[in-house]
Amino acid sequence: DVKVTQSSRYLVKRTGEKVFLECVQDMDHENMFWYRQDPGLGLRLIYFSYDVKMKEKGDIPEGYSVSREKKERFSLILESASTNQTSMYLCASSLSPYSTGMLQPQHFGDGTRLSIL
């Protein structure tokens, strides 16, 4: 089974803090993704990565950055946390279609519920 592990289930931080959310997958997936999910807005893509050292902006990258130094790990960074970044953050991973010949589903971690006070 695919295992995507997010470092914290619940996290409380203060405005202005630099916040790190970590995600690790154990299935050698090339693709990794960070989403946030808010009531009524659904899942929104923040950043994604198709390979080590590679990153691309998603739909709502403002206020966030990412790091992918190793294939299995994808970190989301809130540079200076603000209250409007209080949300559920979800990490996902998938195999590249180039390794399988088919577009593959994403598998999600358990999520981190982040509160910014």
Partner 1 sequence: QKEVEQNSGPLSVPEGAIASLNCTYSDRGSQSFFWYRQYSGKSPELIMFIYSNGDKEDGRFTAQLNKASQYVSLLIRDSQPSDSATYLCAVINGGSQGNLIFGKGTKLSVKP
Token pair 């960070």 in the structure block, residue: 34
Q: How far is the CB of 32 from partner 1 (least distance, A)?
A: 10
Q: How far is the CB of 45 from partner 1 (least distance, A)?
A: 7
Tell me how many helices (H) and strands (E) the chain has. 1, 12
- Binder to partner 1 among 12, 27, 41, 117 (CB under 8 A)? 41
69 touches 53 (CB < 8 A)? yes
Q: How far is the CB of 115 from partner 1 (least distance, A)?
A: 14
Q: How far apart are CA 26 and CA 45, in angstroms?
A: 22
Restricted to residues 55-114, the positions that interact with partner 1 (CB under 8 A) are: 58, 90, 94-98, 102-111
11 touches 112 (CB < 8 A)? yes
56 touches 105 (CB < 8 A)? no
**Contact status: 21 vs partner 1 (CB under 8 A):** no
- Binder to partner 1 among 5, 13, 17, 50 (CB under 8 A)? 50
Binding interface with partner 1 (CB under 8 A) = 30-31, 33, 40-43, 45, 48, 50, 58, 90, 94-98, 102-111
